[in-house]
Amino acid sequence: NAGVTQTPKFQVLKTGQSMTLQCAQDMNHNSMYWYRQDPGMGLRLIYYSASEGTTDKGEVPNGYNVSRLNKREFSLRLESAAPSQTSVYFCASDATGGFNEQFFGPGTRLTVL
């Protein structure tokens, strides 16, 4: 039981490049979330998926897109990376879809030059 896994662990991009961050959970959870964590700030919600087939914007969705591929997988895409998107990205999941106890992945550290 791996919990929530994320790939890659580290990534360096040039401004304007695109990439997709992958997240998978094996806990049969309904809801999945993407957050970003910046120094000196609390985690901020980018997008979430309350259940398979649905996605909703969070606090800071601009510059990102998401896909809930199936119940297990939730990906985050940066179409044209900007230096302001340099951050640590965390994926999380919870069982019931009501922002209940969330389980976090290990994070992806992204640097945009």
Q: Which is nearer to another protein, 81 or 107 (CB)?
A: 107
Q: How far is the CB of 98 from another protein (least distance, A)?
A: 7
d(CA 113, CA 47): 24
Contact indicator for 22, 89 with CB cutoff of 8 Å = no
Query: CB under 8 A: which stretch of 14-22, 65-73, 74-82, 98-106 binds another protein?
Result: 98-106
Query: CB under 8 A: which stretch of 14-22, 63-71, 74-82, 105-113 binds another protein?
Result: 105-113
Residues in the chain: 113
> Is residue 112 a contact point for another protein (CB under 8 A)?
no
The one among 19, 27, 43, 69 contacting another protein by CB under 8 A: 43
Cβ-based neighbours of 89, under 8 Å, separated by 6 or more: 6, 21, 34, 35, 36, 37, 46, 76, 107, 108, 110
Point out which residues bind another protein (CB under 8 A): 4, 40-45, 90, 92, 98-99, 101-107
